[in-house]
Amino acid sequence: MNQKQKQWLWGLYLGYLVVLFALSVVLIPRGDLTAIEKISFLLLMILTASMPIIYRGHVLTLFQWVSLAVFLKYGLLVEIVMTQFAIITTLYSAGVRYGSLYRIPVNTFIFLITSLVSAAVFYFLGGEVGRGLALTFQQQLVPIFAYAVTFLVVNHTLIHLFRVLVLKANSSFLKGIMREVAISSIMLPLGLMLLYLSEAVGLVAVFILGSFFAGIGMFLQMYHKSQYTNRMLKDVTEYGYELNACNTREKLIHLFAVQVEQFLEADTVVLYEGKQQELNLLNGSLLDAEWSNHFQSGDLYSKNVYETGSPYTMLRREDGDLRDIRLPEIYQSVVSLPIRQKEDTYGVITVFSKNMYHFKKQRIHMLEILVNIFAVAIKNVDLLETTKQESVRDPLTGLYNFRYMMEALKKTVNEADFPFSIILLDLDHFKKINDTYGHQSGNDVLEAVADRMRKICPDNSVISRYGGEEFVILLPHHGEEDARQVGILLQQDFSSRSILIRSDLLVGETVDIKVTASFGIAEAGKKDHAMDLIRKADRAMYNGAKSKGRNRVATYSDIKQEHSLSL
């Protein structure tokens, strides 16, 4: 529901309360002998309403057996008034908080319509209220049964329509009605028993049945909690399997953040990784731009948890000892947990809700289990990605190795529907550098050259160390002339800027040296295989650059044209 609809709803609700209060003052007798009796029934209804069962997102109310007895004993108006108290008690006990308070007027109107329609059917069939045991059971049986059936059908239909049409939630009408029938099969006999016992033995009946229901209610609540815990453990286990099945950081982080948001029914989830005593946001892509910027360097709660290594929970904004003034006041409760890997704090997860007292201990414990699973999963993914990178990277330069380049080249040759070229370059007189300054100095030169190529080559290029002092650059979407321009940029950079190295053979003396390279370029033809392209670039480099004095850029087309002219 949008804000304007909620405002209209609350306006109607306040008007309804005024009318209900006025009717109560005028029509409900005061100071009579039934006042204590009515208060006793009201307290019993509030007791039963305080023990709702939450089943798969549905709040199952159990006060209808008392409301049935109240209707048959005192009439429609008293039943409506007491139901209003029961609705508020039920929703409060079910954990409805600030963000969903609109459910109070919604449920009030649903139960009001239900009571009016059910009472109309009851009266139409000849039923009478306030007669106690004056009428025989047979005389009241059909109207009472019709009242109960009408109440069940109308109430469930209205709730189903609201969930489907307004909340856009998936809801099975048949499953819901069967659930209500099961509950009503217990509530109807209890209600009739309460009515007749109250007539027979007075207020003692309210005490006896109240105690009986309290015992049943406590048993049902404990059973529900155990079932709820089992269901959550099952969900956590399934989440764990899904997390451990992820093989990339991005997928794992996205899945974990979404799981936590759904599992805790939270409004915002932020996930941080700690590096060098600072927090880095991991799931910024899941947040709005405004929130992503706000959480980029860590919120106050997450920073506190990262520094102390201890969890932090704030159930109500006013009671929190930490306050991040940058957060809107709409966020009322927070839970923040450290993500640990052995003794170290890897990062922090912080979850925000617009509702006060939203994070119950049971769910926080389950979140801790999920966080532990995530900590293991992210470590495994990082290890997997490190191993993968090591298998395709040259350990000295950090560039791709020959195996990866050949796989990328074969894939591009087989699948690409766009022009592409390769550059094969060989450092000139590199053996002389090794002999003069030492092999470690030669390694320093290779690292410097790799760094320059990374800075100059286009972002979509694949740069690899082919072997020794030779490198191959794959340039997608580059024809031969475009690739020549990249080669020229590299050639000019190499020949114009020196590299500072520390000589191993000259007692650690630092030396500025210039390193040039010879470049061979070839564009892929329609029938070329990967090795065909390598051979073309190799021929261009040796015949067009090395053999003509080095420090040159040559293309296969140049060599081919020169060869045809010589013939």
Question: Does residue 318 have an active-site annotation?
Answer: no
SS3 content of the chain, % helix, strand, coil (to 5): 60, 15, 25
Per-residue tokens: 554: 């040559």
CA neighbor of 521 nearest in space, from 565, 488, 548, 550: 488
**Separation CA 466–CA 452 (nearest Å):** 16
427, 429, 469, 483, 501 from 442: Cα distances, Å: 11, 11, 9, 27, 9
140, 383, 393, 438, 480 from 388: Cα distances, Å: 79, 8, 9, 32, 32
122, 123, 127 from 142: Cα distances, Å: 9, 11, 8
Q: Which residue has the tokens 């080669």?
A: 487
Residues 123/124/125/129 CA torsion (nearest 10 deg): 10
Instruction: List strand residue ranges (DSSP E) for 431-560, in order.
Output: 462-467, 470-476, 499-502, 510-513, 517-523, 553-555
**Separation CA 477–CA 482 (nearest Å):** 9
Based on the number of CB atoms within 10 Å of its own CB, is 285 exposed (0-12), middle (13-18) or buried (19 or more)?
Answer: exposed
Cβ atoms within 10 Å, residue 434: 18
Residues in the chain: 567
Q: Which of 79, 469, 470, 480 is catalytic?
A: 469
Residues acting as catalytic residues: 469
